[in-house]
C-alpha cells in the first residue's frame, strides 16, 4: 500500500467519500450485528425480562465509553491533518501517544464498570425483576472493555490515514465468532445474559488482536511499535485540546440518554424491551449516515492539512447533502417496516407496540439528526470541536432532559419521551446551519495549520 493511496486530497469528491464510507458501513454493520444478536438470541431464548436487561444496559455502555471515544476522535483529527500535510513523523508520534492513552483508559473503564454497575442501574430506576440480569450482563461486558477500547483506537488510526477497509475485515471475523458463540453460550449451554455478554467480549478482543497485529506487521503506512509508546506532552496536549470537548459532549449526552432510559424504565419491562429493540434497529438504520460522517471528518482533516480550501468547502457541502438524503430514505423504509423489524426481537404484542410507536414517532425526522451529525463532522475535521460540544450539550442534553422532565410530569405518556428526539434534532440542525453559514471555521483552521 502506498502513501498516496490513503490520501483524499485529489480526485472526484463524491466517489472518494463513498469509497471510504462503504467499507466503514459494512464494518459497522457487522459490529451492529454482533451487538444486536445478543438481543435477538436473549429475547427469543430467555424471554422479555432478559431482553429488557440487555436493552437497558445499552445506554449505560455508551455512558462508560463515551468520554474516551470523544478524546480518541481528537487524536484521529490530528493524525489525519498531519498525514494530509505529509508530516509522517508527527502522525507517528500521535499514533503512539494515542495507543498508550487508550491502554490506561481501557483499564480504568473496566474497574469503574465492574465497581459501579449496581449503583448506576438503581439510579436509572431499573425494575427489581430486571436488576439481576442487568448487573450480570453489564459486569461481564465490562470485563472486555480493554478489547473494545483498543479496537476503536486502531479503527480510528486506520480511518485517519485513509484506510476504511482494514477494520471491515476484522469485524467480519469477530462478528461471525460472536454469532456462533451467542448461539453456543445462550441457546446451547443456557448461560443466559452472561453468555451473551461473554460472546461479545470475545468478539471484541479478537478484533483488537487482529487490528494491532496488522499495525505491528510493517505492512501499513505507519507501523506501531510498543517500544515507541510514550506520552508526548505536546502531542497529548493537542489530543486533549481537540478531543476533550468531544469527550465531555459524549459523556454528558450519554448521561442525558441514561435519564431518558430511566423515564422509559418507569413504564415497565415491556416498554424497556420494545424501546430497546427500537434503539438496536435505529443503530442499523443509521449506519450509512454514521459512516458518511466519518468520511467527512477524515476528508476535511486531510484537505485542511494540505491547504485545499476550495476542496474542503465543496466536500463539506456535498457530504452534508448526501448524508441528509440517505437518512430520510432510510427513515421512510423504517417507518413502513417497523412492525416486522421490531417483531424480530419479541413475539409479545405489547413489546412490539412500544417499539413501533417509537419508530413511527422518530424515523421521518432522521434528516435533522443526519444534518446535525454531518455538520458536527465538518467542524471536527477542521479542528473546531468546541462548537459541536456547545450545541449538542445545550440541546441534546440540557433541553432534552428539561423537555422530558416537564412533559412527562404533565402528561404521563411515553410518547412525550419519543417526541423529545425529533424536537431536539430540529433545534440542533438550525444552530449548526447558522454556525456553518456565518462562522469562520475554515479560515481559522487554515490559519492554525499555517502556524503549525
Q: Which residue has the higher pLDDT, 57 or 167?
A: 167
Q: Which residue has the higher pLDDT, 209 or 263?
A: 209
Nearest-angstrom CA–CA distance, 198 and 196:
5
Backbone region of residue 11 per phi and psi (left: phi > 0; alpha: psi in -120 to 50; beta: other values): left
Nearest-angstrom CA–CA distance, 77 and 134:
36
Q: What percent of the chain has pLDDT over 70?
A: 82
Q: pLDDT grade, residue 266 (50/70/90)?
A: confident
Q: What are phi and psi of 317, to 5 degrees?
A: -65, -45
Q: What percent of the chain has pLDDT over 90?
A: 12
Among 75-79, 102-106, 300-304, the minimum mean pLDDT is found in 75-79
Looking at mean pLDDT, say which of 28-42, 80-94, 190-204, 426-440 comes out highest. Answer: 426-440
Kindly report the pTM of this predicted structure: 0.66
Instruction: Give me the pLDDT at residue 426, please.
Output: 95
**Span 123-149, mean pLDDT?**
78
**Span 139-160, mean pLDDT?**
82
- Work out the angle between the directed axes of helices 441-451 and 287-305 (0-180°, nearest 10): 50
Cell representation of residue 368:
435533522
Cell representation of residue 111:
474497574
**Span 64-86, mean pLDDT?**
72
Average pLDDT, rounded, for the chain: 80
pLDDT at 2 over 50: no
Among 250-254, 318-322, 336-340, 416-420, the minimum mean pLDDT is found in 250-254
With CA atoms as reference, report the closest residue to 381 among 452, 319, 288. 319
Q: What are phi and psi of 24, to 5 degrees?
A: -60, -40
Cell representation of residue 355:
417499539
* Residue written as grid cell 464494518: 27
pLDDT at 67 over 80: no
* Residue written as grid cell 465492574: 114
Report the helix count and the strand count for the chain, using DSSP H and E: 17, 0
Looking at mean pLDDT, say which of 55-69, 213-227, 377-391, 395-409 comes out highest. Answer: 395-409
With CA atoms as reference, report the closest residue to 380 among 80, 167, 155. 80
pLDDT at 1 over 60: no
Instruction: Give me the pLDDT at residue 365, please.
Output: 94
With CA atoms as reference, report the closest residue to 82 among 337, 293, 383, 347. 383
Nearest-angstrom CA–CA distance, 254 and 242:
19
Helix (H) or strand (E) holding 309: helix 309-343
Amino acid at each position: 500500500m502506498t502513501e498516496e493511496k490513503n490520501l483524499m486530497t485529489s480526485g472526484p469528491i463524491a466517489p472518494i467519500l463513498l469509497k471510504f464510507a462503504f467499507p466503514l458501513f459494512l464494518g459497522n454493520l457487522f459490529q451492529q450485528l454482533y451487538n444486536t444478536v445478543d438481543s435477538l438470541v436473549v429475547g427469543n431464548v430467555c424471554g422479555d425480562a432478559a431482553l429488557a436487561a440487555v436493552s437497558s444496559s445499552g445506554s449505560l455502555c455508551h455512558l462508560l465509553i463515551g468520554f474516551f471515544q470523544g478524546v480518541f476522535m481528537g487524536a484521529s483529527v490530528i493524525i489525519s491533518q498531519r498525514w494530509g500535510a505529509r508530516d509522517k513523523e508527527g502522525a507517528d508520534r500521535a499514533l503512539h501517544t494515542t495507543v498508550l492513552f487508550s491502554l490506561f483508559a481501557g483499564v480504568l473503564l473496566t474497574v469503574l464498570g465492574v465497581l459501579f454497575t449496581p449503583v448506576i442501574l438503581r439510579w436509572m430506576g431499573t425494575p427489581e425483576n430486571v436488576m439481576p440480569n442487568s448487573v450480570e450482563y453489564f459486569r461481564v461486558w465490562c470485563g472486555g472493555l480493554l478489547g473494545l477500547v483498543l479496537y476503536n483506537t486502531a479503527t480510528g488510526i486506520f480511518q485517519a490515514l485513509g484506510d476504511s477497509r482494514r477494520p471491515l475485515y476484522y469485524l467480519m471475523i469477530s462478528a461471525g465468532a460472536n454469532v456462533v458463540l451467542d448461539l453456543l453460550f445462550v441457546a446451547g449451554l443456557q448461560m443466559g445474559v452472561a453468555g451473551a455478554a461473554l460472546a461479545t467480549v470475545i468478539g471484541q478482543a479478537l478484533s483488537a488482536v487482529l487490528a494491532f497485529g496488522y499495525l505491528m506487521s510493517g505492512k501499513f503506512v505507519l507501523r506501531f511499535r510498543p517500544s515507541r509508546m510514550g506520552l508526548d506532552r505536546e502531542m497529548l496536549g493537542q489530543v486533549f485540546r481537540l478531543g476533550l470537548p468531544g469527550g465531555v459532549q459524549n459523556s454528558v449526552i450519554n448521561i442525558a440518554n441514561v435519564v431518558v432510559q430511566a423515564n422509559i424504565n418507569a413504564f415497565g419491562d415491556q416498554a424497556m424491551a420494545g424501546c430497546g429493540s427500537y434503539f438496536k434497529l435505529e443503530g442499523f438504520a443509521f449506519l450509512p449516515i454514521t459512516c458518511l460522517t466519518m468520511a467527512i471528518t477524515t476528508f476535511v482533516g486531510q484537505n485542511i492539512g494540505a491547504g485545499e480550501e476550495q476542496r474542503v468547502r465543496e466536500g463539506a457541502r456535498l457530504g452534508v447533502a448526501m448524508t441528509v438524503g440517505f437518512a430520510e430514505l432510510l427513515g421512510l423504509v423504517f417507518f413502513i417496516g417497523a412492525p416486522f423489524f421490531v417483531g424480530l426481537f419479541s413475539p409479545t404484542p405489547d413489546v412490539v407496540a412500544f417499539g413501533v410507536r417509537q419508530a413511527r414517532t422518530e424515523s421521518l425526522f432522521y434528516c435533522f439528526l443526519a444534518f446535525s451529525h454531518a455538520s458536527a463532522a465538518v467542524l471536527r475535521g477542521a479542528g473546531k470541536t468546541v462548537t459541536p460540544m456547545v450545541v449538542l450539550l445545550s440541546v441534546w442534553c440540557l433541553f432534552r432532559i428539561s423537555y422530558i422532565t416537564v412533559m412527562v410530569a404533565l402528561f404521563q405518556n411515553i410518547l412525550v419521551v419519543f417526541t423529545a428526539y425529533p424536537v431536539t434534532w430540529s433545534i440542533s440542525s438550525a444552530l449548526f446551519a447558522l454556525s456553518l453559514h456565518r462562522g469562520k471555521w475554515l479560515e481559522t483552521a487554515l490559519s492554525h495549520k499555517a502556524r503549525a
